[in-house]
Amino acid sequence: MAISLDRLMGFHHKAMQTRTETMEVIAGNLANANTPGYKAKGLDFQKAMQSANQDRQQTMTRTHDKHFEGKMQSQGAIEFRIPLQPDTGDGNTVEVQAERNRFLENGMRYQAGIQFLNGKIKGMKKALASGQGG
């Protein structure tokens, strides 16, 4: 029986990619905190993961080994943030402390995802090693 790495880790791999993209968006917001007129952006994790799940379901079936795998692309989940504080007058909507908190939270979730994937890989290695002995 073949082991499908996509089935084992595909969803979690997409989650890690989404966490990485979230870090990049937040870093961009922080880098532009003093740029007049800059509108803060955010990535909706739930929408991104729903999109990833739909992408997995919409993967085209290959009818021949030499055919390329095909996927239907869906729209990203990056949107402008709605600020909690009133406008400062320069049109910039970046709330630095809130962005720092989002960055830290996303970093912790990223680290938890790494540990989860590491556990899955260790479990698979253990299963493969025990299968070789019998």
Give the pLDDT confidence of 1-38 residue by residue, as tens digits.
556 676 777 788 888 999 999 999 999 999 999 999 99
Q: How many CA atoms lie within 13 A of 134 on its CB side?
A: 4
Helix (H) or strand (E) holding 26: helix 5-31
pLDDT tens-place string over residues 55-69: 555 555 566 676 665
Tokens of 25: 């968006």
Q: Which residues on neighbouring strands pair with residue 78, listed in sequence order?
A: 43
pTM, entire model: 0.73
Asked whether 110 and 20 are in contact (CB, 8 A), the reply is yes
pLDDT score for 73: 42
Query: What does the pLDDT average to over 61-81?
Result: 64
Question: Range with the lowest mean pLDDT among 26-40, 73-87, 104-118?
Answer: 73-87
